[in-house]
Amino acid sequence: MRKFFRNFIPSQDVVRNNRWLKPFARWLHHPNLWHLNRRSVAGGVAVGLFCGLIPGPLQMLTAAPLAVLLRVNLPIALVTTLYTNPFTFLPLYALAYELGSWVSGTHNAALLTLPELHWHNWASGLWHWLRLLGKPILIGLPLLAVLLAVMGYCVVRVAWRVAVVLRWRARKNRRLQGIVK
């Protein structure tokens, strides 16, 4: 798993020497922010999944300080926020609405249909529609974010463990085959 992630993550020195990140260099020194181990990567995935449901362009701006504060892998946390995009935004918010309406006991199926949006007022129309969703979306979004973060953390930990055990077994089998021959 480590080799897979290493191809996509910039080195710590590259980030430290970046002129835009120089003011933040003192907070970017902790090794877990860059090291690829199962705890750091799983924590980075959890932070990214949690912050991915934050509306607007605040996802990465929230994931970065949270990753630094929790000392989990920073690049993994930032990349993981990208699971929300124009194709997944509406289904995730519909799922959050359903989850919130199930927990709160309020449900209005008519709100799940997307309003008619036009080029000249799409932003205000979408904002009005989101305001109508109200209590269920306010309960469902944080709840879904926590559920996704916990599930992502557990999946990465288990997958990492399975990959390590499979490598151990393969190495043991290679040794045994070398002895038998």
The answer to pTM > 0.85 is no
CA distance 64 to 51: 9
Picking from 139, 157, 112, the residue whose alpha carbon sits closest to that of residue 53 is 139
Q: Give pLDDT tens digits for 54-92.
A: 877 789 999 989 999 999 998 899 999 999 988 888 889
**What count of Cα atoms within 13 Å lies in the side-chain half-sphere of residue 166?**
7
Total domains in the fold of the chain: 1
Picking from 142, 162, 143, the residue whose alpha carbon sits closest to that of residue 154 is 162
| Radius of gyration for the alpha carbons in the chain, expressed in angstroms and rounded | 21
Q: Give pLDDT tens digits for 21-45.
A: 666 665 666 777 777 889 999 999 9
Q: DSSP for 76-115, please give it.
A: HHHHHGGG-STTTHHHHHHHHHHHHHHHHS---GGGGSPP
CA distance 20 to 22: 6
CA distance 76 to 32: 11
Range of the domain at 80: 2-180
pLDDT of residue 57: 78
Type of residue numbered 174: R
Residue 36 has a CB neighbour count (10 Å cut-off) of: 19
Q: Give pLDDT tens digits for 94-141.
A: 899 889 888 888 766 555 566 666 667 767 766 776 666 777 888 899
Q: Is the pLDDT of residue 180 over 80?
A: no
Residue the block writes with tokens 């194709």: 87
pLDDT of residue 179: 75
